[in-house]
Amino acid sequence: LQLPAAWAARRTELFGQALATQQEVAWEEEVQHADGRREYLLCRYQPVMDGTSNVRMVISYGSDITERH
């Protein structure tokens, strides 16, 4: 699956937002497959803080929400 280049820029922007706000960021993405199928994903960046309010890591995960559409 080849993802559009614009997705990388958007994901980078959203990752920066999660770091800056130290809050979870969620968004939806639509995937168009070569056979015409569409798939919808709910994606999230979840910052994990250390004991001094610094971002220790960011967990990235997603869920298939195609049935909702």
Q: In this predicted structure, what is the pLDDT of residue 5?
A: 87
Mean pLDDT within 6-16 = 94
Confidence of residue 69 (pLDDT cuts 50, 70, 90): confident
Residues 60, 1, 4, 23, Cα dihedral to 10°: -10
- Arithmetic mean of pLDDT, 41-59: 96
User: Is the pLDDT at 1 greater than 70, yes or no?
Assistant: no
* pTM (predicted TM-score): 0.84
Q: Lay out the sheet containing 25-32: strands in order across.
A: 25-32, 38-49, 55-64
